[in-house]
Chains A and B, each alone.
Chain A
Amino acid sequence: MIRENIDTLIVGGGPAGLAAAVELWKKGMRSILIVERERQLGGILRQCIHDGFGLSRFGESLSGPEYAQKFIDEVTALGIPYLTDAAVMNITGSRLVTIATPGGIREYQAKSVVLTMGCRERTQGALAIPGERPTGVFTAGVAQAYINLYNRMPAREVIILGSGDIGMIMARRLTLEGAHVHAVFEVQPYPSGLPRNIEQCLNDYHIPLYLSHTVTKIHGSSRLEGVTVSAVDAHMKPIPGTEQYYPCDTLILSVGLIPENELSLDAGVTLDPRTHGAIVDENYMTSVPGIFAAGNVLHVHDLVDFVSMEAERLADHVAEYVREGSLPPCTLDVHYDTDINHVIPQKVSGANPFRLSMRVSHVMKNAAIEVRQNGNLIAKKAVKKALPAEMIQFDVPADNLQTSGDLEVTAVQR
């Protein structure tokens, strides 16, 4: 069994982990290691073969694998150490990290740990859709992996539940591979994916999107035979009498992503019930000193560009933590009202500028996001159309911040 000390161990070699590693290296950190459970670096981007990635980070439209490759090439060129086929088994609160590899178990005592494990998809089981349990019900990401990585065709006659971006992208992908996508149903009164995907993945292929509808029963004992779809009321409860049966052999679920925080919980990291990710301060440090988080493991992003950029910002703070052994305390809470679904960070110092990331909880036109402290307006961002599907980010300057007094974020109609 191998035992080593290390400054920074990065859990996950996807877009967040790779970006964090490159940035840490550029800051002179050399005792770092990326740990990736798959054979290749790149994370989920390896199966996201559509384009549209990189417009913010690189100023060009790339496919997922190309976007990842840019970071992988940099990691390779810089000689940043990484382990693939290496699964982190456990992280303790004192940052002892246990890893299983085909060469044996390795243990690292890390000064800092960067959590970049990404997220997983919500499943049929988590939704508790009534009915039978045939094969033919796949999350969008599973169908995507089968088609784009494994060369397996899992669908012919398709219904999609949920208007998440991956679901819509799979609607187009499946159509182009000869499947027949009948419709997309979304339980909420608004789409959960980006408008551009509704346009180019659904409208272009004449695939109807029905809002305020959900699947209320699954039929089929072996392979899926059909689903019952119902309209839902304002509380998202199915309305009796609206049931409609759709014959299909495949149900694709794109019903939300959940940050993958099992290792974080093992380490004692406190999670935010809204984001399902860690509660972090302006330094992206979690409730456990020396453990940091960025990317989809922290909160689900809609664009990978913002994942990488968040991880790059995190690197500054990790470097400072390793250098200094601690970071200035962040004791002020960031509160928000019910128009807002969540905010990152949840804790700040009041001494430093920070990037605020948030989502509204419902569609708001001509809104302004305001940050206040002790009655003073600290920062304000005008948003023409605020959608729950779109993360809003802006910088909060330190100029007017005070080191006492919690912050309050509100969304106001202009």
Chain B
Amino acid sequence: MKREFTCIVCPNGCEIEADYEIKNGTPVISNIQGNTCKRGEEYVRQELISPKRTIASSILVEGGELPLVSVRITKPIPREKIPEAVQEIRQYRVTAPVRAGAVICHDFLGFDTDLITTKNVPAAHK
């Protein structure tokens, strides 16, 4: 089988073409072209098994200079779990001051990834 991919690993966005077969439920790539680095091939393999994505969002901050602090997960999770992840993220809140890199949730949704803040939010001036 043949499939085309746009690699999302880096901004180069390589257009990759892969020939593959499914053997015992796992894809085996017989020929791959268009990728300019090794990560492209890994990306294609992962896309064929189960596409993974990262997610960035925001959570509420109490008493901060800003009403929200931005968050992200540290490792990609299965793409189909993104909506569930967003619903989960919505429920958190933190209290200012908060620093970038603070872990909001370890092992987020059981995917061996952390939900972390990505911004410093100082406490609001009284």
Q: Answer yes or no: do A and B interact.
A: yes
Q: Which residue of B lies closest to A305 (CB)?
A: B11
A198 vs B5: C-alpha distance in the bound complex, in angstroms? 12
Over the window 170-200 of chain A, the binary record of Cβ atoms lying under 8 Å from chain B Cβ atoms (1 yes, 0 no) is: 0000001100000000000000001110111
Interface size class of A (residues with CB under 8 A): 20 to 34
CA distance A69 to B99 in the complex (A): 10
State whether A199 and B58 are in contact (beta carbons under 8 Å apart), knowing that A65-B118, A176-B86 are contacts in the complex. no
Per-residue B-contact encoding for A357-380, CB less than 8 Å = 1, 0 else: 000000000000000000000000
> Is B67 among interface residues, defined by CB-CB distance under 8 A?
yes
> Quick check: is B106 within 8 A (CB to CB) of the other chain?
no
Please give, as numbers and ranges, the residues of chain B lying within 8 Å of A199 by CB-CB distance.
6, 8, 13
CB distance from B85 to the nearest CB of A (A): 9
> Which of A39, A63, A69 has the most chain B CB atoms inside 10 A of its CB?
A63
Given A49-B118, A148-B68, A204-B79, answer yes or no on A196-B56 (Cβ-Cβ < 8 Å): no
By the criterion CB–CB under 8 Å, are B11 and A65 in contact?
no
Q: Assess the B56–A51 pair: CB atoms within 8 A.
A: yes
Chain B residue numbers with a CB within 8 Å of A176 are 55, 57, 82-83, 86
Residues of chain A lying within 8 A (CB to CB) of residue B82: 176
B54: Cβ under 8 A from any A Cβ: yes
| Residues of the A chain whose Cβ atoms lie less than 8 Å from the Cβ of B67 | 150-151
A177 to B68, CA, bound (A): 14
Contact present for B54 and A194 (CB under 8 Å):
no
**In the complex, A172 Cα to B83 Cα: how many Å?**
11
Any B CB within 8 A of the CB of A149: yes
Query: Is there contact, CB below 8 Å, between B6 and A49?
Result: no
The yes or no answer to A303 lying at the interface (CB within 8 A) is yes
Contact B53 A204 (CB under 8 A): yes
Chain B residue nearest in CB terms to A61: B54
CB-CB contacts of B3-35 with A at 8 A, as 1s and 0s? Answer: 000111011010100000000000000000000
Instruction: Decide if A302 is an interface residue (CB 8 Å cutoff).
Output: yes
Indicate the size class of the contact surface on chain B: 20 to 34
By the criterion CB–CB under 8 Å, are B120 and A69 in contact?
yes
Q: How many A-B residue pairs have CB under 8 A?
A: 76
Does B113 lie at the interface of the complex (its beta carbon under 8 Å from any beta carbon of A)? no
Q: For the complex, is A406 an interface residue (Cβ under 8 Å from B)? A: no
Report B34-64 CB contacts with A as 1/0, cut-off 8 Å.
0000000000000000010111111010000
A344 to chain B, nearest CB (A): 19
CB distance from A132 to the nearest CB of B (A): 32
Cβ of A26 < 8 Å from any Cβ of B? no
Cβ contact within 8 Å between A51 and B72: yes
B112 smallest CB distance to A (angstroms): 17
Of A55, A63, A147, A151, which is within 8 A of B118 by CB? A63
For chain A residues 45-88, which have a beta carbon within 8 Å of chain B? 46, 49-52, 55-56, 61-63, 65-66, 69
Does B119 interact with chain A (Cβ within 8 Å)? Answer: yes
Q: How far is the CA of A151 from the CA of B86 in the complex (A)?
A: 16
Least CB separation from A49: chain B residue: B70
Given A49-B58, A52-B11, A195-B15: A69 and B6 interface contact (C-beta under 8 Å): no
A237 in contact (CB, < 8 A): no
B11: which of A50, A66, A303 is its contact (CB, 8 Å)?
A303
Nearest CB of B to A173, in Å: 8
Q: Any chain B CB within 8 A of the CB of A206? A: no
Q: Determine if B109 is an interface residue (Cβ-Cβ < 8 Å).
A: no
> Does B105 belong to the interface (CB within 8 Å)?
no
Q: Please, how many angstroms separate the alpha-carbon atoms of A66 and B65 in the complex?
A: 17
Q: Which residues of A contact B101 (CB under 8 A)?
A: 66
Given A65-B118, A148-B70, residue A195 in contact with residue B53 (CB < 8 A): no
CA distance A151 to B60 in the complex (A): 9
Contacts of A204 in B (CB 8 A): 51, 53, 79
Complex interface residues of chain B between 72 and 112 (CB less than 8 A to chain A):
72, 79, 82-83, 86, 100-101
Which single residue of chain B is at the shortest CB-CB distance from A67? B118
The reply to whether A69 and B119 contact each other, CB–CB distance below 8 Å, is: yes
Which B residues are in CB contact (< 8 Å) with A51?
Answer: 54, 56, 72
Closest to B67 in A: A151
Given A149-B68, A198-B6, A199-B6, A66:B100 Cβ within 8 A:
yes
Contacts A151-B67, A200-B53, A204-B79 given; does A46 touch B119 at CB 8 Å: yes
Q: Which of A187-236 contact B (CB under 8 A)?
A: 194-196, 198-200, 204
If A199-B8, A385-B15 are given as contacts, then 9 extra A-B residue pairs at C-beta distance below 8 Å, sorted by A number, are A51-B56, A63-B72, A150-B67, A151-B67, A195-B15, A196-B6, A196-B8, A196-B10, A390-B11
**Selected A-B contacts with CB under 8 Å, 19 pairs:** A39-B65, A46-B119, A49-B71, A51-B72, A55-B11, A56-B11, A63-B70, A63-B72, A65-B70, A66-B119, A69-B119, A149-B66, A176-B55, A176-B57, A177-B86, A194-B11, A195-B6, A199-B6, A200-B8
